[in-house]
């Protein structure tokens, strides 16, 4: 495995060659005045200087809607397993950390072949953040930088990238980059400086404790007034769930074709903030109150999911929910800080 | 199967089973006996549930009502929604997709040598029957068996012939009550909690197994607390929206617990810090 | 098994939702294979009193329409309200904000008092008879219509979302109108349309009505966060969500 340096021009030529190959290439591109991951057909459209994408890249491992199986109505079913290979370009560290968590959640216990096959078919070229977004707080969540999960990590240093190949798949791609030279100590120092800068800058909302303290903090916060205070403005629109890189709850629905004899069982994103998320047959809703649903999300991020993945906090500080929430109540840092400030007093 | 699945099976793919018997237990509850089309037998432990589906309609978690000491799988399905309505329309010979079994089990081993008290409200009797039948098939392994059954009204009573057979047995006690009195009913009238004082002396040293609608737990657990039953001896069988059954989809979560994995059977003392449970 | 007999009727509406059915083009051939359409004024001349499924487009604005609808209800096993006029009253309910005499005079001038121009408070179909299923939208979304019909034909309750349009906007990575301090009815409006309006840069007009439990109490405080007022919001709701 190598750490090398290429000029941005050389890197663009590499992306152009990749786009021209038969590989499926996905990268970050402008979408009006925002950014989104999408199929890349022109190397010039790739925007590795983006601040944040509207949706995280989880949509390539867990699509908004995907077929799980095809079936005969009232009969047998046949599994649909995704097998398309993809190069995913421009994953930020906080999203990389989220993907690492999802990989663990979908492979632990019962192994989810649908998610894992997609994941294993993706080669990830991550990149350190160049432009900070208005609500990012990755530094507070220890996810301003990342050191695992990607095949390649790019770090922009002036007019060049430090290209860190972490896997054989990544190395194979680096081997295709003409002009790649071994990174010098000076290059690595510059990369270090980028990391230091990001650890300081990606902190628009500052969590007043270490993230690892959150599970303990939440042990005392179940009946805190903050849930009702904030949730009374909640539209139950699930936007915070939808844009979250670590939300992975889903619903399953059957679709029948026009022949009424065949169809597809699909899964689609769901969200614990939506009114009927916990409703069972017979219409009993186990989380009927907005405040209960609102609290559940913040507990999942800070306590419940960490309990499943060795204490890793399931909020990576991307800030998407802060931006997406119409009522402006979703900011996890504000919630956790409110609890911190008032719980210490008690 | 795709080779990249590393030999892993698709956890969402149901196995086809055939309905070999069916009958209505009352106006809304359908009883079914199933056999796997593969010819294999079902492998489960009382307390567990399966995901039952009709391709094209949907899938839902259903408690297992039979005991592994018998052949095949028995389910009881209440006609409450789209899927269950279609299931109610199925005939003997029709197919049902089954995944599972999933979830935790009744404390079959731990309860050995101890007295068992089953408190069942409405369709709560359905999963309890799995352990009741198992215990009766291993009668020597367990102490006294007491079954308290509460049903809303006479017409809704489940497994009437089977309960009548249980009542005839000398080696178990069965008490039934209905919420609303009825001309054809000479038995107890009142909610299931009204039966608890009748067996109170029995309770502190028994394993108590509780299953019923959400509202029932609160009152039953209060009555058991009054009777000074240790929470470690109480097991509740909870219902949630267990959509995937494999701990992924999030629908059945109550606080940190996934009911499909940590439940549906919980030791009550383990739920002390699970406010969403009861 | 004989094919279900379907009849399509229209009351006060633009018939645009029926047009959406016609616009299904090739798919409509599949539909015709599966059902017997026995009455459909927009597409055929035959009529029938015997049908299993009645599809109703339009709102009810006259006493004779209410009577006709009740007869249809009594004949149909399943009654489906098609499109905003039928499901929520839709734009026809704007009229309910005014005095009915004024409305009549404004529209018909000197003929306003002629008996056949009698008009009443506009009602959605379910304000007159029991409705089994609603296909929302102005106009309806063809693919959703197809999904609902196929569901009914295999005997399953169709999936109709009870979550807001925001869910579909986010899934499509549409930029939220509130990011530009513009009012959008998305957070309280029923989804299922795929959010075409916000995706095209418009606000959500709320043509599918509100979700079952919209957070109305939040409106004032949330609007203030965007330098908007509840009156701004209410004004935008007049179009489709007049009571």
Domain spans in chain C, listed from the N-terminal domain onward: 5-153, 166-241
User: Chain C interface residues facing chain B, Cβ-Cβ under 8 Å?
Assistant: 154-157
A296 has a pLDDT exceeding 80: yes
Best to test chain A binding among B90, B93, B152, B248 (most A CBs inside 10 Å): B248
Q: How many CB atoms lie within 10 A of CB B126?
A: 25
**pLDDT at residue number C48:** 85
Kindly list the residues from chain C whose CB atom is less than 8 angstroms away from the CB atom of residue A239.
166-167, 170, 176
CB contact under 8 A, A235 and C218: yes
pLDDT in tens, B175-219: 999 998 888 888 999 999 999 999 988 888 899 999 999 889 999
Interface of A with B in 207-236 (CB under 8 A): 222
Kindly list the residues from chain A whose CB atom is less than 8 angstroms away from the CB atom of residue B58.
252-254
Read off the pLDDT band of B3 (50, 70, 90): very low
Would you give the DSSP letter of residue C189? B
Give the number of B-C residue pairs with CB atoms closer than 8 Å.
15
User: Chain A interface residues facing chain C, Cβ-Cβ under 8 Å?
Assistant: 31-34, 36, 53-55, 64, 73, 232-239, 242-243, 253-260, 269, 271, 274-276, 290, 323-324, 326-328
Kindly list the residues from chain A whose CB atom is less than 8 angstroms away from the CB atom of residue C213.
236, 275
Please give the Cα distance from A69 to A289 (Å, whole number).
35
Q: Are A57 and A37 in contact (CB under 8 A)?
A: yes
CATH of domain B115-237: 3.40.50.80
**pLDDT at residue number C1:** 61
Per cent of chain A over pLDDT 70 is 99
Topology agreement, domain B3-102 and domain B115-237: no
Chains that touch A (3 or more CB pairs under 8 A): B, C
Domain spans in chain B, listed from the N-terminal domain onward: 3-102, 115-237
Please give the Cα distance from A46 to B242 (Å, whole number).
42
CB contact under 8 A, A81 and B4: yes
Kindly list the residues from chain B whose CB atom is less than 8 angstroms away from the CB atom of residue A111.
6, 8, 11
Reported as type and span, the H/E element at residue B117 is strand B115-121
Chains that touch B (3 or more CB pairs under 8 A): A, C
**pLDDT at residue number C55:** 96
C156/chain B closest Cα distance in angstroms:
5
B238 in contact with chain C, both atoms CB, cutoff 8 A: no
Mean pLDDT of C17-22: 93
Sequence-distant (≥ 6) Cβ neighbours of residue B101 within 8 angstroms: B42, B43, B44, B45, B48, B49, B50, B64
B2 has a pLDDT exceeding 50: no
CB contact under 8 A, C166 and A73: no
Question: What is the value of ipTM here, to two decimals?
Answer: 0.94
Mean pLDDT of C137-144: 95
| Distance in angstroms between the alpha carbons of the first and the last residue of chain B | 42
As given in the structure block, the two tokens for residue C168 are: 């579909």
Show the beta-strand stretches assigned E in chain C. 5-10, 36-40, 53-57, 78-82, 133-135
CB-nearest to A233 from C31, C164, C221 is: C221
Best to test chain B binding among A74, A105, A106, A241 (most B CBs inside 10 Å): A74
Chains that touch C (3 or more CB pairs under 8 A): A, B
Please give the Cα distance from C58 to B175 (Å, whole number).
57
Please give the Cα distance from C7 to C50 (Å, whole number).
9
A243/chain C closest Cα distance in angstroms:
7
Kindly list the residues from chain C whose CB atom is less than 8 angstroms away from the CB atom of residue B86.
155-156
Give the number of A-C residue pairs with CB atoms closer than 8 Å.
105
CB-nearest to A254 from B10, B58, B244 is: B58
3-state secondary structure of C118: coil
pLDDT in tens, C36-70: 999 888 778 888 888 999 999 999 999 999 999 99
Kindly list the residues from chain C whose CB atom is less than 8 angstroms away from the CB atom of residue B90.
none
- Backbone conformation region of residue B238, classed left if phi is above 0, alpha if psi is from -120 to 50, else beta: beta
What distances in angstroms separate CA A158 from CA A4, A125, A192, A302, one per listed residue? Answer: 15, 19, 13, 37
Burial annotation A42-67 (CB, 10 A radius, 16+ → b, else e): ebeebbbebbbbbbbbbbbbbbbebb
Mean pLDDT of A24-42: 97
Domain C5-153 fold is Rossmann fold (3.40.50)
CB contact under 8 A, C150 and A34: no
Please give the Cα distance from A139 to A333 (Å, whole number).
12
What distances in angstroms separate CA C61 from CA C64, C69, C90, C115, one per listed residue? Answer: 9, 11, 12, 14
Q: With CA atoms as reference, report the closest residue to B261 among A241, A286, A308.
A: A308
Task: Print the SS3 string covering chain A.
Answer: CCEEEEEHHHHHHHHHHHHHCCCCEEEEEEECCEEEEEECCCHHHCCCCCCCECCCHHHHCCCCEEEEEEEECCCCEEECCCCCCEEEEEECHHHHHHHHHHHHHHHCCCCCHHHHHHHHCEEEEEECCCCCCCCCCHHHHCCCCCCCCCCEEEEEECCEEEEEECCHHHHHHHCCCCCCEECCHHHHHHHHHHHHHHHHHCCCCCCCCCHHHHHHHHHCCCCCCHHHHHHCCCCCCCHHHHCCCCCCCEEEEEEECCCCCEEEEEEEECCCCCCCCCEECCCEECCCCHHHHHHHHHHHHHHHHHHHCCCCCCCCCCCHHHHHCCCCCCCHHHHHHHHHHHHCCC
User: Helix H segments across C83-195?
Assistant: 84-87, 100-108, 142-153, 166-171
Q: Which residue of A has its CA nearest to B11?
A: A112
Which residue is associated with the tokens 């489906």?
C80
B170/chain A closest Cα distance in angstroms:
38
As given in the structure block, the two tokens for residue B66 are: 């039979």
Read off the pLDDT band of B275 (50, 70, 90): very high
Q: How many CB atoms lie within 10 A of CB A156?
A: 19
Mean pLDDT of B239-258: 94
pTM of structure: 0.94
- Beta-strand relationship, B15-24 and B95-102: antiparallel
Whether domain B3-102 has CATH 2.40.30.10: the reply is yes
Sequence-distant (≥ 6) Cβ neighbours of residue C20 within 8 angstroms: C139, C140, C141, C142, C145
B55 in contact with chain C, both atoms CB, cutoff 8 A: no
Read off the pLDDT band of A335 (50, 70, 90): very high
Please give the Cα distance from B223 to C204 (Å, whole number).
53
Which residue is associated with the tokens 């510059």?
A190
**pLDDT at residue number B181:** 85
Mean pLDDT of B229-257: 95
pLDDT in tens, A191-230: 999 999 999 999 999 999 999 999 999 999 999 999 999 9
Interior angle at CA B251, CA A253 and CA A284, nearest 5: 95
Q: With CA atoms as reference, report the closest residue to A149 among A119, A173, A175.
A: A119
CB-nearest to B55 from A74, A105, A278 is: A74
Q: Which residue of C has its CA nearest to A271?
A: C167
Q: With CA atoms as reference, report the closest residue to A127 among A102, A156, A98.
A: A156
CB contact under 8 A, B241 and A117: no
Reported as type and span, the H/E element at residue C34 is helix C26-34
A282 has a pLDDT exceeding 90: no
Kindly list the residues from chain C whose CB atom is less than 8 angstroms away from the CB atom of residue A275.
162-163, 211-213
Read off the pLDDT band of C97 (50, 70, 90): very high
């Amino acid at each position: 495995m190598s750490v090398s340096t290429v000029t941005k021009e050389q890197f663009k030529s590499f992306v152009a060659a990749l786009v021209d190959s038969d590989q499926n290439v996905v990268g970050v591109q402008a979408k009006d005045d925002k950014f989104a991951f999408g199929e890349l057909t022109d190397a010039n459209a790739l925007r590795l200087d983006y601040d944040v994408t509207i949706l995280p890249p989880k949509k390539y491992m867990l699509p908004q809607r995907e077929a799980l199986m095809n079936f005969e109505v009232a009969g047998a079913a046949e599994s649909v397993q995704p097998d398309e290979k993809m190069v995913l370009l421009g994953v930020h560290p906080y999203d990389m950390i989220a993907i690492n968590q999802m990989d663990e959640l979908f492979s632990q216990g019962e192994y989810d072949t649908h998610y894992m096959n997609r994941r294993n078919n993706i080669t990830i070229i991550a990149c350190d953040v160049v432009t900070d977004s208005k609500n990012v707080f990755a530094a507070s969540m220890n996810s301003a930088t990342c050191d695992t999960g990607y095949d390649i990590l790019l770090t922009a240093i002036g007019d060049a990238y430090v290209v860190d190949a972490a896997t054989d798949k990544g190395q194979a791609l680096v081997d295709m980059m003409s002009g790649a030279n071994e990174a010098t100590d000076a290059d690595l120092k510059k990369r270090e400086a980028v990391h230091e800068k990001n650890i300081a800058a990606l902190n628009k909302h500052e969590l007043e404790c270490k993230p690892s303290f959150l599970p303990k903090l939440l042990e005392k916060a179940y009946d805190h007034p903050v849930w009702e205070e904030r949730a009374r403005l909640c539209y139950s629109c699930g936007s915070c769930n939808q844009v979250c890189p670590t939300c992975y709850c889903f619903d399953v629905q059957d679709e029948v074709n026009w022949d009424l004899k065949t169809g597809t069982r699909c899964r689609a994103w769901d969200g614990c903030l939506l009114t009927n998320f916990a409703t069972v047959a017979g219409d009993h809703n186990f989380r009927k109150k907005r405040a209960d649903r609102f609290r559940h999300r913040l507990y999942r991020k800070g306590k419940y999911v960490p309990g499943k993945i060795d204490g890793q906090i399931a909020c990576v500080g991307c800030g998407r929910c802060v931006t997406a929430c119409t009522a402006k109540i979703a900011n996890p840092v504000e919630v956790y800080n409110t609890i911190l400030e008032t719980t210490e007093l008690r | 199967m795709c080779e990249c699945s590393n030999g892993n099976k698709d956890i969402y793919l149901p196995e086809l089973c055939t309905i070999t018997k069916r009958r209505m237990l009352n106006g809304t509850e359908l009883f079914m006996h199933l056999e796997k089309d593969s010819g294999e037998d079902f492998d489960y432990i009382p307390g567990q549930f399966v995901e039952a589906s009709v391709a094209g309609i949907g899938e839902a978690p259903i408690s297992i009502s039979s005991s592994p000491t018998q052949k095949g799988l028995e389910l009881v399905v209440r006609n409450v929604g789209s899927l269950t309505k279609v299931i109610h329309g199925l005939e003997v010979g029709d197919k049902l997709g089954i995944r599972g079994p999933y979830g935790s089990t009744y404390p079959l081993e731990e309860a050995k040598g101890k007295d068992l008290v089953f408190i069942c409200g409405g369709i709560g009797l359905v999963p309890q029957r799995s352990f009741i039948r198992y215990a009766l098939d291993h009668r020597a392994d367990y102490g006294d068996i007491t079954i308290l059954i509460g049903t809303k009204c006479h017409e809704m009573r489940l497994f009437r012939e089977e309960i009548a057979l249980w009542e005839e047995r000398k080696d178990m006690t069965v008490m039934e009550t209905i919420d609303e009195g009825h001309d054809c009913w000479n038995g107890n009238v009142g909610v299931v909690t009204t039966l608890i004082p009748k067996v109170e002396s029995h309770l502190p040293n028994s394993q108590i197994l509780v299953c019923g609608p959400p509202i029932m737990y609160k009152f039953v657990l209060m009555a058991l607390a009054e009777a000074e039953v240790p929470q470690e001896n109480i097991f509740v069988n909870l219902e949630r929206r267990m959509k995937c059954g494999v701990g992924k989809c999030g629908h059945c979560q109550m606080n940190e617990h996934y009911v499909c994995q940590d439940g549906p059977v919980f030791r009550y003392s383990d739920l002390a810090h699970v406010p969403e449970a009861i | 098994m004989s094919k279900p007999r379907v009849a399509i009727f229209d009351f006060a509406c633009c018939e645009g939702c029926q047009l959406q059915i016609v616009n299904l083009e090739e798919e409509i051939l599949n539909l015709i294979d599966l059902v017997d359409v026995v009455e459909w004024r927009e597409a055929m001349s035959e009529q029938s009193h015997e049908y299993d499924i009645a599809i109703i487009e339009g709102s009810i604005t006259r006493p004779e329409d209410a009577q006709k609808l009740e007869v249809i209800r009594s004949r149909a096993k399943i009654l489906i309200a098609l499109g905003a006029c039928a499901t929520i009253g839709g734009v026809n309910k704007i009229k309910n904000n005014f005095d009915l005499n004024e409305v009549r005079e404004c529209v018909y001038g000197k003929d306003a008092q002629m008996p056949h121009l009698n008009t009443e408070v506009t009602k959605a179909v379910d304000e007159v008879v029991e409705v089994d299923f609603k296909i929302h939208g102005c106009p309806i979304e063809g693919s959703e219509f197809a999904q609902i019909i196929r569901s009914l034909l295999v005997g399953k309750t169709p999936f109709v979302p009870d979550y807001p349009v925001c869910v579909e906007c986010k899934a499509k990575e549409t930029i939220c109108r509130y990011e530009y301090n513009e009012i959008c009815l998305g957070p309280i409006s029923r989804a299922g349309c795929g959010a075409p309006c916000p995706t095209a840069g418009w606000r959500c007009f709320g043509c599918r009505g509100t979700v079952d439990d919209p957070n109305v109490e939040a409106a004032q405080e949330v609007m203030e966060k965007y330098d908007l007022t509840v009156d701004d919001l209410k004004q935008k709701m007049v179009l489709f969500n007049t009571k």
